[in-house]
Amino acid sequence: MGTIADIFREYGPEYLETYQESIPVLHRKVMGAIIGCRTEVCGVNVYSCKQCNKSMVVFRSCGNRHCPTCQNHKTRQWLERQLNRELPGHHFMVTFTVPQQLRRFIRSHQRTAYSALFSASSAALKILSADEEFVGGNCPGFFGVLHTWGRQLDYHPHIHYIVPGGAFDKESGNWHSSRVDFYVPVSALSKIFRARLRDEMKKAGLFDQIDPIVWNIDWNVNCQAIGSSEGSLKYLAPYVFKVAITDSRIVKVENRQVTLRYKKQKSSRWRTMTLEVMEFIRRYLQHVLPTGFMKIRYYGFMGSGSSLTLDDISAAIELSLDVFVECRQVPKYKGKASPYCPHCGGKLEYWCSIRPHERWQPG
């Protein structure tokens, strides 16, 4: 079994040489970070044993958000925060996808197109949730997470939204609850999403670069009732701070072939597929996000600029349901256990970090 870092170390130079004129600088940086992760390139952390006083050095992580071995603690922290922010009542997961004919264009204009996807999809949700026929509140709240990959590393940009089942009305101060099994009609949602994205592309001056057929076919939006949001949060959490594929899914790397495992949608059975190593690297790198791009965005009463707190919303929901939801604290993730000394088994205590090119002399 190989790792993504192993693949980049062995075949990365060939990939860079072969496609040197077309490789974005950011892709080069990501490859370099993954290759150097937990090696002398990133420096070391120094630990001291409380029991035998011996020192131990551990290579540092690169911290790059596209590295498969980093960011685990951020995933745990994010999930913990979201579970503690969970509102009472039912929820929905709404997924916005784009037609196959539009994906190549989006991949070539990622920063603009990803922002447009968020803008168009969030606007569509706000418009329909304000309609008295469906929900009727003028202040919904939800958050979305951008994914760009399919189960076989193909390019498939889409946004998952976690949406509480209702909306707050600022004028009356009441919570307008949706049906438990229905939020808004997906047919109307997809049409508004398509129209809004078309407008965003016109604003960006990119409309003429898109195949006109895109605006004349049906777009796919899915709205799934999920009850409590906890299950969907746990589903989304591993994807929030990682990209495309983890090392555990790589079965083997042999004769320039990478064999990986995957599951089809709505199936629990593992399958395998094989990619030529250059194609594997290409598929992996196409999911690198633009520098500084925020792949998680919050809207309405969940947004940072909202004058409403989640306690205000919880109270309104409880009143509308005529129930009192007891406040619960989600158990904190303990993370990794403290490291132990390989010499005596004593507990290791963090002492300092040594960056590359710095010198350290044991005390």
Based on the fold, state whether residues 145 and 57 are members of the same structural domain: no
| Whether 20 and 145 share a structural domain | no
How many angstroms separate the CA atoms of 194 and 20, rounded?
Answer: 36
Least confident interval from 7-11, 203-207, 275-279, 328-332: 328-332
Q: SS3 of 282, please?
A: helix
In tens, the pLDDT along 146-197 reads 999 998 999 999 999 999 999 999 989 999 999 999 999 999 999 999 999 9
pTM of the model as a whole: 0.86
In a domain? residue 328: no
Backbone angles phi, psi at 74, to 5 degrees: -65, -35
Local structure of residue 212 (DSSP, 8 states): G
Answer whether residue 267 is part of any domain: no
Of how many residues is the chain composed?
363
Closest CA to 4 of 59, 101, 70: 70
The residue with greater pLDDT, 54 or 334, is 54
Q: Please report the pLDDT score of residue 238 as a whole number.
A: 67
Compute the average pLDDT of residues 108-128.
Answer: 97
The residue-averaged pLDDT of 106-115 equals 97
233 domain-assigned:
yes
Q: How many domains are there within the chain?
A: 2
Q: Does residue 116 belong to any structural domain of this protein? A: yes
Q: Which residues of 337-354 are buried (b: 16+ CB within 10 A; e: fewer)?
A: eeeebeeeeeebeeeeeb
Instruction: Based on the fold, state whether residues 50 and 109 are members of the same structural domain.
Output: no
Q: Say if residue 170 is in the same domain as residue 115.
A: yes
| Main-chain dihedrals φ then ψ at residue 9, nearest 5 degrees | -65, -40
What integer pLDDT is reported at residue 47 of this predicted model?
86
- Based on the fold, state whether residues 193 and 307 are members of the same structural domain: yes
Lowest-pLDDT range, 77-91, 145-159, 253-267, 289-303? 77-91
Is residue 122 domain-shared with residue 151, that is, in the same domain?
yes
Is position 360 within any domain? no
Q: Within this chain, do residues 161 and 294 fall inside the same structural domain, yes or no?
A: yes
For residues 129 and 137, the answer to whether their CB atoms sit within 8 Å is yes
Q: Is residue 260 part of a domain?
A: no
Place of tokens 């509102």: 87
User: Above 70 in pLDDT, residue 336?
Assistant: no
CB atoms within 10 A of CB 300: 23
Q: Identify whether 361 is part of a domain.
A: no
pLDDT in tens, 16-51: 999 988 899 999 999 999 999 988 888 888 888 888
What is the model's pLDDT at position 211? 94
Is residue 300 a contact partner of residue 170, using CB atoms and an 8 Å limit? Answer: no
Please give the Cα distance from 115 to 83 (Å, whole number): 26
* Confidence check: pLDDT of 323 > 80: no
**pLDDT attached to residue 363:** 46
Q: Are residues 224 and 99 in the same domain?
A: yes
Q: Are residues 310 and 341 in the same domain?
A: no
How much is the average pLDDT of 310-322? Answer: 84
- Whether residue 142 contacts residue 163, with contact meaning beta carbons closer than 8 Å, is answered with yes
Residue 279 falls within a domain, yes or no? Answer: no
Residue 129 shares a structural domain with residue 23: no
Q: HSE of 324 in the Cβ direction (CA atoms, 13 Å)? A: 2
| Per-residue model confidence as pLDDT tens digits over 71-86 | 766 777 778 888 888 8
Q: At 71, is the secondary structure helix, strand, or coil?
A: coil
Is 140:125 a contact under the CB 8 Å cutoff?
yes
Q: What is the 3-state secondary structure (H, E, C) of 5-51?
A: HHHHHHHHHHHHHHCCCCCCHHHHHHHHHHHHCCCHHHCEEEEEECC
Residues 61 and 77 in one domain: no
The range of the structural domain enclosing residue 30 comes to 4-65+333-354
Q: Are 57 and 178 contained in the same domain? A: no
Q: Count H helices, E strands: the chain?
A: 9, 13
Q: State how far the Cα of 140 lies from the Cα of 145, in Å rounded to an integer.
A: 17
